Amino acid sequence: MNAPDTDNRKILLIGDISRAFLDAGAITKEPCEVRASMPDAIEAVAKNSFRAICVVMSGMSAKLSSALKALRDVSSEAKIILLAQMCEEPVAIQLVGSASNGTNVADDYLICPIRFSHLVSRISYLAGATPGASRDVSAQAETAALATVDATTEMKIRQLEKLATEDDLTGLKNRRYIWEFSRQIIEHARSENGQVTLLIFDIDNFKHYNDVYGHSAGDEVLRQAAVLMRRCCRGHDVVGRVGGDEFAVVFWDDPMLKSGSSEDERRSALAEHPKEAIFIAERFRRELKRTELHLLGPEGKGVLTISGGLASFPRDGSTIQELFQQADRALLEAKRSGKNRIYLVGKPQNDIADVE
């Protein structure tokens, strides 16, 4: 029997690395081991020590959470990093946030494709400056200096990632992210016979708030709407601000919940589209109408209302362009019909179209 590999500088890469890296050939610059399947990877972790375990999510089964728990049980010290496509980010967020015996099943995730050096920088950032006991003072100082450089680089990368994908006013995803995420998730739904529903909505008479109370108050209205929308949506749905007072929500089938942890979650995840989206839009509309306008000062009166349009794949369109066009058309019809209502591609939802 071979002795265990004690080189804990090694990085274990699991899955199809060609889908994760722009420069897959660069992995030869670091001590790495590549395993194509999760069972092979778990076997490798049982025999060897690794600095980090990096999992390409694409192609992995819906039981990824259980597999990550197994990796964590076998190698508790290694950092586990998920390499996700943009459409896999909501699942990656859940996995990083889910805990097993008080320990998260994954430490972090990266949106791919990326350069391999970016992954190495993230690993160093997560590991921190923890020098080995056998190193001398000069080696420890060098390690600490390198870790500081890695941390600075990583912080800059994170800031750039945030600027590229988030709306700076509301903290929601921006238009570019919503568009690309929707494109990817529709392709995934096409291959898996899944469903995707797009909701586009804006705040009725928003120009009035800006004109009467000022742009700072208008900005606060947008922030408050963003907080309420995220609170009303399911954890894996993606909410974004696509411009001005216009928002978008992408409702989709979460693969983690198809074999979910509870009956309520499974029922919600597998609900017929767009019924679940309509239910959530109604909940948001009611929450928004109950919002007090104290943020507008003592003169603030009235209620906040929204109008929206819904379109679903594959029923209403086969591409993200078609879904946006259809949802925009439905939004316009909702506006023309009196506002404070949601339309489903030319068809009003009677249960939420009434103005209370």
Could you tell me the two tokens for 332? 């316009």
For residue 173, give Cα distances in angstroms to 51, 168, 237.
Answer: 32, 9, 11
Region 308-329: what's the mean pLDDT?
94
Residue 22 pLDDT greater than 80, yes or no: yes
Region 332-354: what's the mean pLDDT?
73
Supply the pLDDT for residue 9.
76
* C-alpha angle 106-171-297 in degrees, rounded to nearest 5: 140
* Helix axes 175-192 and 320-336, enclosed angle (nearest 10): 120
Measured distance CA(180)–CA(188) in Å, rounded: 12
Q: Are strands 306-313 and 196-203 parallel, antiparallel or unpaired?
A: antiparallel
Q: Is the dihedral of CA 84, 171, 124, 107 positive or negative?
A: negative
Q: Taking all residues of the chain, what is their mean pLDDT, rounded to a whole number?
A: 81
Residue 190 pLDDT greater than 80, yes or no: yes
Give pLDDT tens digits for 263-300.
Answer: 555 445 445 667 888 888 888 888 887 766 555 555 55
Domains and CATH numbers, the chain: 11-127 (3.40.50.2300), 175-353 (3.30.70.270)
68: left (phi over 0), alpha (psi -120 to 50) or beta: alpha
> Count of CB atoms within 10 A of residue 244's CB?
12
Pick from 56-65, 71-80, 106-115, 322-331: least confident: 56-65
Shortest CA distance to 247 belongs to which of 237, 255, 256? 237
166: left (phi over 0), alpha (psi -120 to 50) or beta: beta
Q: Tell me the three state secondary structure of residue 237.
A: coil
The number of CA neighbours under 13 Å toward the Cβ of 341 is 22
Give pLDDT tens digits for 145-178.
Answer: 445 555 677 677 767 777 789 999 999 999 999 9
Give pLDDT tens digits for 192-203.
Answer: 888 899 999 999
Supply the pLDDT for residue 94.
87
Is 0.85 surpassed by the pTM of this model?
A: no
Question: What would the DSSP string read from start to end of 124-176?
Answer: HHHH-S---TT--HHHHHHHHHHHHHHHHHHHHHHHHHHHHHB-TTT-SB-HH
Region 210-234: what's the mean pLDDT?
87
DSSP 98: -
